[in-house]
Amino acid sequence: MALSRFFVISSGGDRILLRCLRGEGEGGSAEEFYSAVTEHHEGNLPLIRIGDVFYYSLKRNGLYFVATTSFAVPPSYMLELLNRIIGTFKDFCGILTEESLRQNFILAYELLDELLDFGYVQCTNTSQLKQKVYNVALVPKIHARSMARLSLGTNPNPKTVPSSVSQRPITKEGARSNEIFVDVLEKVSAILGADDTYKSVTVEGQIRMKSFLSGNPMVRVALNEDIVINNRRCKVPNVAVLDFCNFHECVDTREFEKARLLSLTPLEGEFTLMSYRISGNAVIPFRIKAAVDIDGDAATITVNVFSTMPEHINAFVKLHCPLPSCTTGATLSTVPHDNGQATEYRPKDQSISWEVRKYRGCTGYTLRASVNLGSHGSKISKREFGPLNLTFEAPLFSVSNVRVRYLGVLQPPSSGPSYRWVRYVTSSQSYIYRF
């Protein structure tokens, strides 16, 4: 199960990192992979085979992380390995962007040499790698300025913290010492039908932790006590009903059954404290009603979107709708219309898009599109429109109602105060409406 090559390329095809692990002349190339991604539209596939070479890839922040091999390796193994390599880069570089990797390419290659030897996995543990790596990460200028403002106390709202604050190298002192960050991240997948019912809905959640605490203190994380696990008959409103949950090996779960309390000594770097899944019992954050009316060579698309989230939640929402290939033009309008919206007709890929930068909870918006179908309009059916693809990101919101009741750090008084941050983000993974 040896790897032949590992490389990182940007979404534009620029090569950022490349390591030939076994000295093989034919181990795959970044150019072949990028050609398959762009020309054959295979960018969303985690596994691509070109000739005798298997390309395993993950896309993060506009970057493709790719490992190649000539052996038949289980995809789950390779994707888990890529996830760990990506996590290692993030732990040591602080932030995972093209600029950060280019500035820290020496550190990145040093990490690769410790992670992989002649194509075989050696060590993926951040604590062990920290003792073997000697280069120090360079923080991008923009990111460094935001951290400096926080350290100087110029943050206008000290009760909140941006997500970029936790994205700093583990080997470098940050804006504050003795901090711990906990993120409750949830991704929603749903298929909605034309009869205002959803055919399937799934929520995949993670509680992630990144610690900058001095020493090795014990940390206690308490979740809401009304969490129900593996009981699909429970239909109580506003209660988190989980199909299952998994915990990191460092977590002590002896008090979880009775008090929903987790105890642990945090590891170096960022890790997943708990992962869980919900299917069927989740409440969809956006309801969609849509209709297509065809009249000769013209069609009218009406899309109503209503947010079921609380009123104080503001989400970023973007809607994409493919149109028939014979479309010659489209005129878009929204109700209500405000400055936080943007609509666009894209003749290149025959689609329309609608963007709402701050979609307030418990409100509804309507998009109307007048589509010109040309001379072939009479032959078009409703099935050639859509499906609608909704992408969104809602901070401060948990669709599953999983909550961190309190986050405690057991440290001696001599260690000084500890700063604890908890963040909630719910986003879409695949949110589809079919006409």
Mean predicted confidence (pLDDT) in 148-166: 43
For residue 318, being part of any structural domain is answered with yes
- Phi/psi at 65 (5° precision): -105, 115
Flag whether 172 is in a domain: no
- Considering the domain architecture, whether residues 98 and 212 belong to the same structural domain is answered as no
Q: Does 55 have pLDDT greater than 50?
A: yes
Q: Tell me which residue has tokens 């961190």.
A: 404
The dihedrals phi and psi of 256, each to the nearest 5 degrees, come to -75, -40
Query: 380 pLDDT exceeds 80?
Result: yes
Higher-scoring residue by pLDDT: 159, 319:
319
> What does the alpha-carbon distance between residue 273 and residue 206 come to, in Å, rounded to a whole number?
7
Q: What is the DSSP string of 381-399?
A: -GGGS--EEEEEEEET--T
Same domain, 387 and 424: no
Which of 152-161, 254-263, 284-293, 339-348 bottoms out in mean pLDDT, i.e. has the lowest? 152-161
pLDDT digits (tens, 9 = 90+) for 192-211: 987 666 778 999 999 999 99
pLDDT tens profile 329-369: 999 999 988 778 999 999 998 999 999 999 999 999 999 99
On average, the pLDDT of the chain sits at: 86
Hey, which residues does 366 pair with through a beta bridge?
Answer: 304, 335
Give the chain's domain count: 3
State whether 68 and 20 are in the same domain.
yes
Quick: pLDDT tens for 104-154.
Answer: 999 999 999 999 998 899 988 888 888 888 888 887 665 544 444 433 333
Do residue 128 and residue 213 come from a single domain? Answer: no
Q: Are residues 279 and 293 in the same domain?
A: no
- Cα Rg of the chain, angstroms: 24
Is 141 a member of any domain?
no
Whether 150 maps to a domain, the answer reads: no
Looking at the structure, tell me whether residues 124 and 22 fall in a common domain.
Answer: yes
* pLDDT tens per residue across span 397-406: 999 999 999 9
Answer whether residue 168 is part of any domain. no
Q: What is the DSSP letter of 245?
A: E
Q: Are residues 277 and 327 in the same domain?
A: no
Q: Is 288 exposed, middle or buried (0-12, 13-18, 19+ CB in 10 A)?
A: buried
Asked if residue 113 belongs to a domain, the reply is yes
Q: For residue 393, how many C-alpha atoms fall within 13 Å in the half-sphere facing its CB?
A: 4
CA–CA separation, 243 and 248 (whole Å): 17
User: Do residues 277 and 326 both lie within one domain?
Assistant: no
Closest by CA position to 121, among listed 152, 78, 170: 78
Quick check: is 128 in a domain?
yes
SS3 state of residue 248: coil
Sign of CA dihedral 16, 174, 113, 127: negative
Nearest to 248 by CA among 216, 221, 227, 217: 221
CA 114 to chain centre: 27
CATH number reported for the structural domain that contains residue 122 in this entry = 3.30.450.60
- CA distance readout (Å), 327 to 334, 346, 355, 434: 20, 10, 21, 19
Q: Quick one: which H or E segment has residue 85?
A: helix 75-93
The pLDDT score that the predictor gives to residue 280 is 74
Indicate the residue among 77, 111, 132 that finishes a domain.
132
Identify the helix (H) or strand (E) that includes residue 258. helix 256-259
- The pLDDT of residue 158 is 38
Question: How many CB atoms are located within 10 Å of the residue 221 CB?
Answer: 23
Same domain? For 16 and 119 the reply is yes
CATH number, domain with residue 388? 2.60.40.1170
Whether 209 and 185 map to the same domain: the answer is: yes
pTM exceeds 0.85 for this model: no
Domain shared by 359 and 420, yes or no: no
CA distance 39 to 43: 10
Task: Output b/e per residue, 170-185; b: 16+ Cβ within 10 A.
Answer: bbeebbeebbbbbbbb
Question: Using one digit for the tens of pLDDT, what is the confidence trace for 406-418?
Answer: 999 998 877 788 8
Asked if residue 301 and residue 291 are part of one domain, the reply reads yes
Residue 201 per-residue DSSP state: E
Measured CA to CA, the distance from residue 312 to residue 101 in angstroms comes to 37
Cα-to-chain-centroid distance, residue 100: 19
Domain that holds residue 377: 286-395
166 found inside a domain: no
